[in-house]
Amino acid sequence: MNRIDPKLAATLRRPDELVARGLARAADLPDLEQVAARYAVAVTPDIAELIDAGDPADPIARQFIPSAEELITSAGENADPIGDDARSPVAGIVHRYPDRVLFKLVHVCAVYCRFCFRREMVGPGKATALSEDAYQAALDYIRQHDEIWEVILTGGDPLMLSARRLAEIMADLAAIDHVKIIRIHTRVPIADPARVTPELVAALRGEGATTWIAVHANHPREFSANARAACACLADAGIPLVSQSVLLRGVNDDAATLEGLMRTFVECRIKPYYLHHGDLAPGTAHLRTSIEQGQALMRALRGRVSGLCQPEYVLDVPGGHGKVPVGPSYLSQDRDLARETRYRVVDYCGEVHLYPPIDNDGRG
Ligand code: SF4
């Protein structure tokens, strides 16, 4: 892997450091200090190197450099936008669907995304760190619920843990007979790829349960040579990789960027999985699109790339009610034909067809 210049090798965590690196304006410092007092800030050297400091609309900066707009809380936004708390039977566990749980192991990340749906819960000093007793109680909960087939490690970013600790956790989970799948959601291969060492990869492979990894990225430029190498290490170890992205205004809300992102995932052996509609996290309205814009982009994507490159566009229903695909729909019933049910099908060019088709006599 390429090495980062040692002079730039520290993660930037304070607004004055961002100003000193030319990644934020000195005039904005008072506002950014207010933002940083509420929401964690971290920009790793790998991410800082990707930012074009001369471009005020840089899509990487928009994801990681704080903005005064985060001080505005809009209607509908709340501290727990996808309802984790409502579905948490014990600390660290979210049990929203019968066959799977989220296991929130850590409350820290390599970088802090400005749109984070758990921004009130992640970051240094947050009260959501899991103690050893709470960890054991969470394991007990999983043991006692034999309907749990899949455990999704999330946080925070689970790959912030040491390889040794991750190996222990993977072994603890794999020792539970009914846990067959351990899925890890992470931004580390993109934001701090040097953490993906042979020891970490060995820890993740585990034994007794199948590991899947969901890699979070939102713009094709996030795939630096180091990030691609980290993803390749995971894929070479036989770990299946899927993607997760968030649709973000000014980052990836155009068809060409989304196409580039999905193609890059596939080139890196990461199957596109989820494109999330932006959650109603506080201070994130400036980064959200409308659902109609998201549907139009998904329609455009369908016409540009193969099914291999198609993610599912999903909305997490506020209140803890889970994810739903939000279209677009290509099928509707044709109500004008009383004789029998027919469907109107929209093809990838936007042309409408009837199914089953009607022959020249008007018969099906
Ligand atoms: S890596 Fe994930 S949990 Fe951490 S700040 Fe970004 S979106 Fe939030």
For residue range 17-31, list pLDDT tens digits in order: 999 999 999 999 999
The percentage of residues in the chain with a pLDDT greater than 70, rounded to a whole number, is: 94
Tokens of 179: 């846990």
- For the question of residue 195 being annotated catalytic, the response is no
pLDDT band at 247 (very low <50, low <70, confident <90, very high): very high
In the predicted model, what is the mean pLDDT of residues 308-324?
93
- For the question of residue 363 being annotated catalytic, the response is no
Taking the CA of residue 352 as centre, how many other CA atoms within 13 Å lie in the half-sphere pointing to its CB? 8
- For the question of residue 304 being annotated catalytic, the response is no
Give the type of residue at 294.
Answer: G
In the predicted model, what is the mean pLDDT of residues 337-344?
75
- For the question of residue 180 being annotated catalytic, the response is no
pLDDT at 128: 66
Q: What is the dihedral of CA 292, 81, 313, 254, to 10 degrees?
A: 60
CA-CA distance, 222 to 218, in Å (whole number)?
A: 7
CA-CA distance, 254 to 258, in Å (whole number)?
A: 6
Closest residue by Cα to atom 6, ligand 1, is: 113
pLDDT band at 7 (very low <50, low <70, confident <90, very high): very low
Question: In whole numbers, what is the pLDDT of the chain averaged over residues?
Answer: 93
Ligand 1 centroid to 336 CA: how many Å?
48
| Best residue for ligand 1 mutational test, from 43, 118, 244 (most atoms within 8 Å of Cβ) | 118
Strands of the 181-186 sheet, one edge to the other: 93-97, 100-104, 150-154, 181-186, 210-216, 241-246, 270-276, 312-316, 323-325
CA-CA distance, 75 to 66, in Å (whole number)?
A: 21
pLDDT at 126: 77
Q: Count Cβ atoms below 10 Å from residue 156 Cβ, excluding itself.
A: 25
Cα Rg of the chain, angstroms: 22
Top mean pLDDT of 73-77, 240-244, 279-283 is at 240-244
Cα distances from 23 to residues 14, 123, 277, 324, in angstroms, run 11, 21, 27, 37
Does residue 79 or residue 229 have the better pLDDT?
Answer: 229
pLDDT at 337: 54
Go through the chain and tell me how many residues it has: 364
pLDDT at 2: 45
| Best residue for ligand 1 mutational test, from 116, 188, 219 (most atoms within 8 Å of Cβ) | 116
Residues with CB under 6 A from ligand 1: 109, 112-113, 116, 118, 122, 155-157, 187
Q: Is the pLDDT of residue 336 over 70?
A: no
Q: Count Cβ atoms below 10 Å from residue 278 Cβ, excluding itself.
A: 23
Q: By the 8 A CB rule, do 295 and 326 touch? A: yes
pLDDT band at 125 (very low <50, low <70, confident <90, very high): confident
pLDDT band at 360 (very low <50, low <70, confident <90, very high): low
pLDDT digits (tens, 9 = 90+) for 155-185: 799 999 999 999 999 999 999 999 999 999 9
In the predicted model, what is the mean pLDDT of residues 195-212?
95
Give the type of residue at 118.
Answer: R
CA-CA distance, 43 to 62, in Å (whole number)?
A: 12
Q: Is the pLDDT of residue 83 over 90?
A: no
- For the question of residue 96 being annotated catalytic, the response is yes
Ligand 1 centroid to 8 CA: how many Å?
22
100, 104, 119, 187: the catalytic one is 100
| Best residue for ligand 1 mutational test, from 109, 153, 159 (most atoms within 8 Å of Cβ) | 109
pTM: 0.93
Does residue 319 or residue 340 have the better pLDDT?
Answer: 319
Largest Cα–Cα separation, the chain:
77
Q: By the 8 A CB rule, do 246 and 218 touch? A: yes
- For the question of residue 316 being annotated catalytic, the response is yes
Q: Which atom of ligand 1 is nearest to the CA of 191?
A: 1
Closest residue by Cα to atom 8, ligand 1, is: 116
Cα distances from 178 to residues 76, 100, 181, 182, in angstroms, run 38, 11, 9, 11
Q: What is the dihedral of CA 59, 84, 262, 309, to 10 degrees?
A: -160
CA-CA distance, 121 to 143, in Å (whole number)?
A: 26
pLDDT band at 4 (very low <50, low <70, confident <90, very high): very low
Cα distances from 235 to residues 25, 36, 206, 215, 238, in angstroms, run 40, 36, 14, 12, 5
